[in-house]
């Protein structure tokens, strides 16, 4: 099993009573709720945590992108990767999970930024490509009905920018540029490793599993039963396309809290993971799923399933029950990860060891216990 | 729509559009207004009036759009109580998708439309429910200002759907206009 450390950088000091007046922590929550003094403190602490993770033996660290929200303070993930690039030495990788391709006017700028990071780190970055969640389409005024189309075309433009000799013209439906000519060219050949974080959609799975791409598929924010289904769907798709998928093409992003005993873990985690679920994730359906973001069929299915990953109160117990939060003693966590690996067939774990309002001391303890007690026990664990 | 007019051989049609439909009607008329006798734009969107406040149609919670659409609260209750079949729900979803495709960004307008309006000489009536809380009548006023042969008429005690709330006043305004202006 391979381990990465993932940070979401929430604005932890958010006034928890904001929801008396505002329906969402995203897009429309006034930014006067952000205090730069506390924010500056937080940013430096969070960056320290990412650098600390590199010393604890994680294969890599991951940063993230969200706009105009208290949920996460990284609207520009490549800037954060840049801040870490010279501070985190080889061989530790830096994963940008993910860059939301449809949100920019010129996706070649994403290719540029990644290429710069790839050169400076001599090939240690992982480039995540995402569509961006629904709220980003409100924040950035990009048409959600074009989300899939723009993602595909932006992906093609970026891969071509990395691999074709420039200058060449790019003439697409959404993007037209007479000159695409990347300086620098990427360091890693043929290009940086591409991962596709996703909440689970058959189109995304098919896209990632295609033999021309074989992108690592990273499952996020999903109950265990769906996780196993999506992992199997990836393997089935690979099979259908004529090859056998490796477990290193599959990853799971999950929040984890380890403490000395199960009881201590639950007591420590409860207020902070519930703040994550109820205060930071909070957004109405109209924001999460704007029209056209998913197909009509998908939207109807989601509504029927009354999918409520946001908007309704969640308890730690419910999250543990459905497998979106792992919490316990080192042995409990080891057992659960091993069990999920057996059922899901993945080799990569993106460990969210900070979440919500988890304070600095508990974050460090969580990271240390995970790195010293859990990771060594599972290093040689393989699925199947 | 222009193809339809052509296929039906309608040379002197009266074209009426409401809300998003009014925007479509204006776009079509600008491209081929010669075949139209008159144009009616009811509660139109499609132009940008800088600084004008408008609710975000794509962030309204369920029911809110219906509440904002009518001036008369009794009509709101009637609309909300009406049963919605699966077919109707599907239709509404499809409309929502089409609406987003056309109107998400730039929000509810075509930046290139306004400059062509002075070329559209078709006699035009702009109708607005005076109490429209979904789409401000100021947009209709802008159409009336820019079109060379147009005037705006406000229908009182009506919101975004005057054809439903004040059908007599709505129809009287349209009929009088057509009778007066159709050559």
Q: Please tell me whether residue B89 adopts helix, strand or coil conformation.
A: helix
Q: Look up residue A54 and give its two tokens.
A: 């590199």
| CB-closest option in B60, B61, B105 to A142 | B105
Give A138-197 pLDDT, tens digit per residue. Answer: 999 999 999 999 999 999 999 999 999 999 999 999 999 999 999 999 999 999 999 999
With pLDDT > 70 as the criterion, what percentage of chain B qualifies?
A: 99
Q: Look up residue B119 and give its two tokens.
A: 């070329």
Select the residue from A291, A295, A303 to test the B interface by mutation, using most B Cβ atoms within 10 A: A291
Is-contact A283 A25, C-beta < 8 A?
yes
With pLDDT > 70 as the criterion, what percentage of chain A qualifies?
A: 97
| CB-closest option in B61, B90, B101 to A292 | B101
Chain A interface includes B88 (CB < 8 A): no
Chain A interface includes B99 (CB < 8 A): yes
**For chain A, what is the radius of gyration of the CA atoms?**
20
Contacts of B145 (CB under 8 A, 6+ apart): none
In angstroms, the Cα distances linking A311 to A72, A140, A255, B7 are: 17, 22, 19, 50
Distance CA B41, CA B163 (A): 12
Sign of CA dihedral A113, A117, A123, A125: negative
Average pLDDT, chain A: 95
CA of A299 to nearest chain B CA: how many angstroms apart? Answer: 9
Chain B interface includes A23 (CB < 8 A): yes
B125: phi then psi, degrees, rounded to nearest 5: -110, 125
Alpha helices in chain B (DSSP H): 2-7, 20-32, 64-69, 73-81, 86-103, 137-146, 162-165, 167-181
CB-count burial class (<10 Å; 0-12, 13-18, 19+) for B66? middle
Give B23-78 pLDDT, tens digit per residue. Answer: 999 999 999 988 899 999 999 999 999 999 999 999 998 899 999 999 999 999 99
Chain A interface includes B1 (CB < 8 A): no
30-59 in A: which are within 8 Å (CB) of B? none
Which carries the bigger pLDDT value, residue A339 or residue B33?
A: A339
A299 contacts in B (CB within 8 Å)? 93
Q: Does pLDDT of A343 surpass 80?
A: yes
Chain A interface includes B93 (CB < 8 A): yes
With pLDDT > 90 as the criterion, what percentage of chain A qualifies?
A: 91
Q: Report the residue of chain B nearest A145, measured CA to CA.
A: B101
B65 contacts in A (CB within 8 Å)? none
Chain A interface includes B145 (CB < 8 A): no
Distance CA B123, CA B148 (A): 8
Indicate the pLDDT class of residue A296, thresholds 50, 70 and 90: confident
Query: What pLDDT score was predicted for residue B65?
Result: 94
Query: What pLDDT score was predicted for residue A363?
Result: 98
A295 contacts in B (CB within 8 Å)? none
Contact A145 B107 (CB under 8 A): no
Chain A interface includes B12 (CB < 8 A): no
| CB-closest option in B59, B90, B104 to A144 | B104
Q: Would you give the DSSP letter of residue A188?
A: S
Query: What pLDDT score was predicted for residue A297?
Result: 85
Give A222-271 pLDDT, tens digit per residue. Answer: 889 999 999 999 999 999 999 999 999 999 999 999 999 999 999 999 99
Contact A143 B94 (CB under 8 A): no
Chain A interface includes B58 (CB < 8 A): yes
Q: Does pLDDT of A312 surpass 60?
A: no
Contact B101 A143 (CB under 8 A): yes
Q: Look up residue B160 and give its two tokens.
A: 């975004």
Contacts of B83 (CB under 8 A, 6+ apart): none
Chain B interface includes A377 (CB < 8 A): no
Count of CB pairs separated by less than 8 Å, A with B: 47
| CB-closest option in B58, B93, B101 to A299 | B93
Is-contact B48 B111, C-beta < 8 A?
yes
Q: Look up residue A36 and give its two tokens.
A: 């730069």
Contact A291 B60 (CB under 8 A): no
Q: Does pLDDT of A311 surpass 70?
A: no
Distance CA A246, CA A8 (A): 28
Q: Report the residue of chain B nearest A142, measured CA to CA.
A: B105
What is the arrangement of strands in the sheet containing B124-129, beginning at the earlier edge strand?
B13-18, B36-42, B124-129, B150-155
CA of A25 to nearest chain B CA: how many angstroms apart? Answer: 14
Interface ipTM: 0.94
| CB-closest option in B60, B61, B99 to A291 | B99
B105 contacts in A (CB within 8 Å)? 141-143
CA of B98 to nearest chain A CA: how many angstroms apart? Answer: 9
Give A100-123 pLDDT, tens digit per residue. Answer: 999 999 999 999 999 999 999 999
Indicate the pLDDT class of residue A310, thresholds 50, 70 and 90: very low
Contact B58 A291 (CB under 8 A): yes
């Amino acid at each position: 099993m391979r381990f990465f450390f993932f940070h979401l950088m929430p604005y932890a000091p958010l006034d928890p009573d904001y929801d008396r007046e505002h329906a969402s922590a995203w897009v429309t929550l006034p930014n006067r709720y952000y205090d730069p003094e506390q924010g500056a403190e937080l940013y430096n602490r969070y960056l320290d945590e990412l650098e600390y993770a590199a010393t604890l033996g994680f294969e890599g660290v991951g940063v993230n992108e969200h706009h105009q929200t208290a949920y996460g303070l990284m609207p520009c993930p490549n800037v954060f990767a840049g801040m870490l690039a010279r501070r985190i030495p080889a061989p530790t990788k830096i994963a940008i999970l993910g860059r939301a391709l449809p949100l920019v006017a010129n996706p070649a700028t994403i290719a540029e930024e990644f290429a710069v990071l790839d050169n400076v780190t001599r090939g240690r970055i992982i480039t995540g490509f995402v569509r961006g969640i629904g709220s980003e389409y409100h924040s950035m005024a990009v048409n959600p009905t074009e989300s899939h189309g723009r993602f595909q075309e932006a992906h093609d433009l970026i891969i071509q920018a990395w691999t074709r000799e420039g200058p060449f013209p790019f003439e697409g439906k959404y993007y037209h540029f007479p000159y695409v000519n990347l300086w620098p060219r990427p360091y890693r050949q043929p290009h940086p490793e591409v991962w596709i974080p996703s909440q689970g959609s058959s189109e995304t799975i098919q896209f990632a599993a295609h033999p021309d791409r074989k992108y690592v598929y990273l499952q996020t924010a999903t109950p265990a039963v769906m996780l196993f289904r999506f992992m199997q769907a990836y393997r089935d798709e690979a099979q259908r396309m004529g090859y056998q998928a490796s477990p290193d093409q599959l990853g799971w992003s999950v929040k984890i809290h380890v403490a000395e005993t199960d009881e201590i873990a639950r007591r420590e985690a409860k207020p902070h993971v519930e703040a994550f679920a109820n205060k930071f994730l909070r957004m109405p359906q109209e924001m999460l799923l704007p029209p056209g973001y998913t197909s009509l069929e998908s939207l109807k299915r989601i509504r029927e399933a009354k999918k409520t990953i946001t908007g309704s109160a969640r308890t730690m117990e419910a999250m543990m029950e459905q497998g979106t939060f792992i919490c316990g003693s080192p042995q409990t966590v080891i057992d659960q990860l091993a069990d999920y690996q057996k059922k899901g067939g993945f080799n990569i774990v993106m460990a969210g060891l900070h979440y919500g309002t988890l304070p600095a001391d508990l974050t460090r303890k969580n990271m240390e216990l995970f790195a010293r007690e859990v990771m060594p026990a599972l290093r040689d664990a393989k699925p199947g | 729509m222009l193809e339809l007019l052509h296929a039906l051989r309608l040379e002197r049609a009266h074209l009426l559009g409401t809300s998003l439909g009014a925007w479509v009607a204006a776009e079509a008329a600008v491209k081929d207004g010669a075949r139209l006798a008159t144009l009616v734009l009811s509660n139109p969107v499609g132009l940008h009036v800088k600084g004008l406040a408008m609710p975000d149609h794509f962030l309204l919670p369920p029911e809110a759009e219906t509440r904002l659409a009518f001036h008369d609260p009794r009509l709101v209750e009637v609309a909300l109580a009406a049963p919605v079949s699966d077919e109707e729900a599907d239709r509404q979803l499809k409309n929502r998708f089409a609406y987003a495709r056309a109107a998400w960004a730039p929000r509810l307008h075509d930046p290139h439309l306004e400059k062509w309006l002075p070329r559209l000489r078709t006699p035009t009536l702009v109708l607005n429910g005076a109490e429209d809380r979904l789409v401000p009548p100021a947009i209709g006023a802008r159409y009336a200002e820019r079109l060379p042969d147009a005037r705006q008429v406000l229908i009182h005690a009506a919101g975004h759907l005057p054809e439903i709330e004040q059908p007599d006043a709505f129809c009287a305004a349209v009929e009088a206009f057509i009778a007066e202006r159709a050559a």
